[in-house]
Chain A
Amino acid sequence: MQIKKKLRLATVVGAAGAAMALSLVAPSVSGAATAAPSGTLTYAEAPGASPNYIFPFMSCTYFSVNNINQFQQLLYRPLYWFGLGNSAAVVDKSQVGANNPNGLSLAAAPVMSNGNKTVTIHMGNYKFMSGQAVNGQSVQFFLNLYKADVAVKKGADYCGYNAGYGIPDQVASVTHTAKAVTIKFTTAVNPNWILYNYLSEITPLPSTWDTIGAGTEGCSTGAYGAARTNSDCIAVLKYLQAKALNLSGYASSFWQSGVDGPYTATHFDTLGNVTLVPNKTYMGPQHSQLAVVKEIPFSTSTAEENALRAGTVDLGYVDPSVLTSPSPGPLKTGANWGPVANRYNLVTGSSWGFSYAAYNFASGSPEAKYLNQLYIRQALQDGVNQAGIIAKLDKGYGLVNYSPLPYGISPTLGHQPKQLYPYNLSVASALLKNHGWTKSGGNLTCTKPGTAASECGKGINMGDVLTITYLYGGGTPSFTAEVNAIVSAWQSLGMKATATAEPFNQVIADCSAGKTTWSVCDWGAGWIYAPDYYPSGEWGFTPGAGFNIGAYNNPAMTAIIKTTTFGTAKLTQYASYFEQQLPVMFQPNGEGTGEIIKTLKSNIGFAPNPLQNFNPEYFHF
């Protein structure tokens, strides 16, 4: 759902180990909340990324890790909770609140029926702070709001909207009883896909929010999709959106009435200072053991590192570039950064996503004719020295990446393919030579135009010089060095490759669909599958998809993707085909590097969470 931005800095320090996550399936509520909460945990927000939106139904402007994972979900729990743990294996249906009325999820695992055309959700025993049960009506409230926004405003106010796919576009009806919600689809859907991508995004909303200031509207109680419901919902939406703009009002009882998570906010300001205290009425498996959780803002990662050196934060992060001792292997930590080693422990973890740079296949792009050739994409990938980049620029805190599936994906979702195109410049060179490219004046020039196997390929003319324009988001020295390492390797093959840096926002604007001034676009890290966790490819690799910025259009790929969203196929075939076809340039997946103060303890271990979730309720001093 989100493109990653400077992921290595933004990674949230979450908690838990895989083994412990399993034990969460059957916790005892009475055993959890015994000792009185004590101590203050100070948490470092990512540089320049502070929470600024409280209402969990939000447009793309606010759809970010700092709003969702670091703030909203501590207050307002999603219907289905994913990712308590350092291993991505926990992103698995079998551990999502299955038959567990008070798991981290608010409902039992969804039950599919009618040939995967109906899903029934049985609600747990959670309560809002207002006293209302988190029940079928609170789920219907969210879905009614969603439907109304799509019907009236084309989904402009909810960033998770994917035209034509899933909820609400494939939904025929939604009905609820006090303890259950039933959603009927117009076609069969893949149960994993609908759970991971759509049910996961639902946040049950309290009836106290079904208002336009005075009285109660009909958005939470009306029939799904009815005209009256839609108009009520749009009015409510407008009221709540306006109210959410007043950041100083976030600690008010209005917003706190909807709290069903382990924390409630007592202070919030525009600079990004957040103070959370335990929600005493929380019904989940683990009550907060901390008396206060404070989130504090940072201007730069250097400022945050200074705070670590002074010992003023408890949970923070370092940029791998300052680390002096490399990681001994994937997801292992080397010695901690000298200036903080006496106070903090270093932890590392992967991310539920994959890093890539997009290729531009748009017909207007002058360099698309090169990128349309599979052998050229293979030669480009052969030039990416992932192991070298990880070892040198990431200090070992990175993972070789050759698949759209996240590291450590559960076999129930699909299997990782084998690596097909490791770094090998001589293979790349031979590929180009065998397709009629010869070096003249240092540049590769096409000498055999045509479409035969030994010729340059469709659209490429005699004398064309193999040119690649690489646009990337500058600002981070290690990433800049990474891009230039890749481009330098391509240049050494004889390609006329140039790299241009732009600020992050400018890159996104310039790389957006339809622009033809780039042939490779690299905003820094790729894609993270959150909060739609199912790593299928409809978001970026089907024609017309929201983030198909390179105008990739391959009917075979589209067909395979549909088998994973509407059919019940695993993601294995998709991943293999994706890797073989290379619709993107794979680059190393960065690991997060977090710092945990040594006095902090956790019931379930420490590790950055792949989904960037933050579960401070498991920490204590």
Chain B
Amino acid sequence: MTATSLTTDAVATTVEMPVPMWRQRLKIFTQNKLAIASVLYLLLITLFCFLWPHFHPTNQTNQNLAINNPINQGPDSQFWLGTDSSGFDVLGRIAYGGEYSLTLGFLAGIVTIVVGTLYGMISGFLGGVVDTVMMRVLDAFLSIPYLFLLITLVTLFARTATLLILTIGLTGWWGTARIIRADAMLIRNLEYSQAATTMGASKWHIIHRHVFPNSISNIVTVATFSVADAILFLSTLGFLGLGLQAPQTDWGTMLQNGAELIPNGYWWEVYPLAAIFILVVVAINYIGDALRDAFEVRLLER
């Protein structure tokens, strides 16, 4: 949608803008208080995940010690959020699992966007037969049930962090490629467009000033959503028992273990993490939305 919506009047409006565009966009973004709150929340959780283990070290890898810890114990002065079914300190484990979930989600999102962008650009710029072939291949990928493929691949290989990133990343770029291709085609068409010169600007100027930023905006926005999706998919794998290997963990695996104990009333093993997790995904998606709004100058008119 966004990719093809660069209308001529938007170009015309932006050409005359005196303020650098990125600054104006930043301003729009910062005016969105919820977006700022989302950024702050993400920052807070990231800092918590990566720094908390240093302030309050808990053993999250040695399960021999875990045998000596109480299991499924409610919060107390020693374990602020209680312990889980393997005796790990839950608060520390949320941070530990968060390191993996956030890092994996972020990196898988990056892989998605890099591969998707390259594929889309090559297809869009080259056009012709290459484009047709690449698009049909993309159609084929898009008609494969993504989750089935992911599960099949994950069961075929050992589940290391790197392989999970690659698997999620390399199977998630299909939608991205479509959007970027549309941008690339737009650029390609503009090259031959007479309209660009008649508007008084050289075609390269337009590509450089308007089309490319628009692509960047798409890439950034899609990348944000990709990260959120990657985190969600990772959690689904965790639920299916295909997440990271113990003693490593990720939020999905933790949520699954906690969810099975809901009937036991061990609220500390699922609800705090569930809230953190859901808000993280909400925040990332909201930032994506806000970025799109900021980038989409056209919206200013509404």
**Direct contact between A and B judged by beta carbons closer than 8 A:** yes
Residue B65 CB within 8 A of the other chain: yes
Chain A residues in contact with chain B, CB under 8 A?
302, 305, 309, 321-322, 324, 337-339, 385, 388-389, 391-393, 474-475, 477-478, 480-481, 483-486, 488-489, 491-492, 499-503, 506
Is there contact, CB below 8 Å, between A506 and B155? yes
Residue B162 CB within 8 A of the other chain: no
Is there contact, CB below 8 Å, between A501 and B246? yes
Is there contact, CB below 8 Å, between B263 and A339? yes
Is there contact, CB below 8 Å, between B241 and A475? yes
Give B240's nearest chain A residue, CB to CB.
Answer: A475
A478 to B260, CA, bound (A): 13
Residue B159 CB within 8 A of the other chain: yes
Is there contact, CB below 8 Å, between B71 and A392? yes
For chain B residues 3-44, which have a beta carbon within 8 Å of chain A? none
Inside 8 A of B263's CB, which chain A residues have their CB? 305, 309, 322, 338-339
A385 to B67, CA, bound (A): 9
Give B154's nearest chain A residue, CB to CB.
Answer: A503
Given contacts A474-B241, A481-B86, A506-B155, contact A388 B264 (CB under 8 A): no
Q: Say how far A352's CB is from chain B's closest CB, in angstroms.
A: 28
Residue B261 CB within 8 A of the other chain: yes
Residue B85 CB within 8 A of the other chain: yes
Q: What's the dominant secondary structure at chain A's contact region?
A: helix
Is there contact, CB below 8 Å, between A477 and B64? no
Is there contact, CB below 8 Å, between B241 and A485? no
A480 to B65, CA, bound (A): 15
Inside 8 A of A324's CB, which chain B residues have their CB? 72, 264
A338 to B264, CA, bound (A): 7
Is there contact, CB below 8 Å, between B71 and A484? no
Is there contact, CB below 8 Å, between A500 and B245? yes
A480 to B63, CA, bound (A): 10
One digit per residue, 1 when the CB lies within 8 angstroms of any chain A CB and 0 when it does not, for chain B 229-267 equals: 000000000000110011100000000010011011100
Our pick among A322, A339, A391, A484 for the contact of B63 (Cβ within 8 Å) is A484
23 A-B contact pairs sorted by A residue (CB < 8 Å): A302-B260, A309-B263, A321-B85, A324-B72, A338-B265, A388-B67, A392-B67, A392-B71, A393-B67, A393-B86, A477-B257, A478-B85, A480-B246, A481-B63, A481-B85, A481-B86, A484-B247, A488-B61, A488-B63, A488-B64, A499-B245, A503-B155, A503-B242
Q: Which of B72, B158, B246 gathers the greatest number of chain A CB atoms within 10 Å?
A: B246
Give A485's nearest chain B residue, CB to CB.
Answer: B63
Residue B196 CB within 8 A of the other chain: no
Is there contact, CB below 8 Å, between B64 and A489? yes
Given contacts A321-B85, A500-B158, contact A385 B64 (CB under 8 A): yes
Is there contact, CB below 8 Å, between B64 and A485? yes
Is there contact, CB below 8 Å, between A485 and B155? no
Give B69's nearest chain A residue, CB to CB.
Answer: A392
Inside 8 A of A305's CB, which chain B residues have their CB? 263
Inside 8 A of B257's CB, which chain A residues have their CB? 477
Give A321's nearest chain B residue, CB to CB.
Answer: B85
Q: How many residues of B contact A (CB 8 A)?
A: 28
Inside 8 A of A322's CB, which chain B residues have their CB? 260-261, 263-264
Inside 8 A of B242's CB, which chain A residues have their CB? 503
Is there contact, CB below 8 Å, between A484 and B264? no
A615 to B62, CA, bound (A): 44
One digit per residue, 1 when the CB lies within 8 angstroms of any chain A CB and 0 when it does not, for chain B 90-109 equals: 00000000000000000000
Inside 8 A of A503's CB, which chain B residues have their CB? 155, 242
Given contacts A305-B263, A322-B264, A503-B155, contact A481 B66 (CB under 8 A): yes
Give B243's nearest chain A residue, CB to CB.
Answer: A474
Given contacts A393-B86, A488-B65, contact A481 B264 (CB under 8 A): no
Q: Say how far A494's CB is from chain B's closest CB, in angstroms.
A: 14
Residue B82 CB within 8 A of the other chain: no
Give B244's nearest chain A residue, CB to CB.
Answer: A501
A475 to B242, CA, bound (A): 7
Inside 8 A of B71's CB, which chain A residues have their CB? 392
One digit per residue, 1 when the CB lies within 8 angstroms of any chain A CB and 0 when it does not, for chain B 123-162 equals: 0000000000000000000000000000000011011000
A345 to B261, CA, bound (A): 20
Chain B residues in contact with chain A, CB under 8 A?
61-68, 71-72, 85-87, 155-156, 158-159, 241-242, 245-247, 257, 260-261, 263-265
Q: Say how far B159's CB is from chain A's closest CB, in angstroms.
A: 7
Inside 8 A of A486's CB, which chain B residues have their CB? 64
A239 to B87, CA, bound (A): 55
Give A477's nearest chain B residue, CB to CB.
Answer: B257
A474 to B66, CA, bound (A): 18
Is there contact, CB below 8 Å, between B64 and A501? no
Give B62's nearest chain A residue, CB to CB.
Answer: A488
7 cross-chain pairs, A with B, having the tightest CB-CB distances, nearest first? A488-B64, A484-B63, A475-B241, A388-B67, A481-B86, A480-B246, A485-B63
Is there contact, CB below 8 Å, between B155 and A474? no
Inside 8 A of B72's CB, which chain A residues have their CB? 324
A597 to B263, CA, bound (A): 19
Give A505's nearest chain B residue, CB to CB.
Answer: B155
A407 to B41, CA, bound (A): 55
Is there contact, CB below 8 Å, between A477 and B86? yes
Inside 8 A of A389's CB, which chain B residues have their CB? 67
Our pick among B67, B86, B87, B245 for the contact of A474 (Cβ within 8 Å) is B245
A324 to B74, CA, bound (A): 13
Inside 8 A of A502's CB, which chain B residues have their CB? 158
Give A309's nearest chain B residue, CB to CB.
Answer: B263
Is there contact, CB below 8 Å, between A477 and B85? yes
Is there contact, CB below 8 Å, between B246 and A481? yes
Inside 8 A of B265's CB, which chain A residues have their CB? 338
Inside 8 A of A385's CB, which chain B residues have their CB? 64, 67
Inside 8 A of B64's CB, which chain A residues have their CB? 385, 485-486, 488-489, 492
Is there contact, CB below 8 Å, between B245 and A392? no
Give B256's nearest chain A residue, CB to CB.
Answer: A477
Give B59's nearest chain A residue, CB to CB.
Answer: A488
A506 to B241, CA, bound (A): 14
Q: Say how far B101's CB is from chain A's closest CB, in angstroms.
A: 17
A492 to B64, CA, bound (A): 9
Give A489's nearest chain B residue, CB to CB.
Answer: B64
Q: Which of A475, A484, A499 gathers the greatest number of chain B CB atoms within 10 Å?
A: A484
Known: A322-B264, A485-B64. 14 other contacts (CB 8 A): A302-B260, A305-B263, A321-B85, A337-B264, A338-B265, A385-B67, A392-B67, A474-B241, A480-B246, A485-B63, A488-B62, A488-B65, A489-B64, A501-B159
Q: Say how far B20's CB is from chain A's closest CB, in angstroms.
A: 52
Is there contact, CB below 8 Å, between B246 and A474? yes
A489 to B155, CA, bound (A): 28
Inside 8 A of B61's CB, which chain A residues have their CB? 488
Give A517's nearest chain B residue, CB to CB.
Answer: B158
A475 to B238, CA, bound (A): 10
Inside 8 A of B247's CB, which chain A residues have their CB? 484, 488
Q: Say how far B77's CB is from chain A's closest CB, in angstroms.
A: 22
A142 to B220, CA, bound (A): 70
Is there contact, CB below 8 Å, between A392 and B87? yes
Q: Say how far A379's CB is from chain B's closest CB, in angstroms.
A: 15
Given contacts A474-B241, A478-B85, contact A484 B67 (CB under 8 A): no
A322 to B158, CA, bound (A): 28
Give A395's nearest chain B residue, CB to CB.
Answer: B71
Is there contact, CB below 8 Å, between A485 and B260? no
Q: Say how far B145's CB is from chain A's closest CB, in angstroms.
A: 18
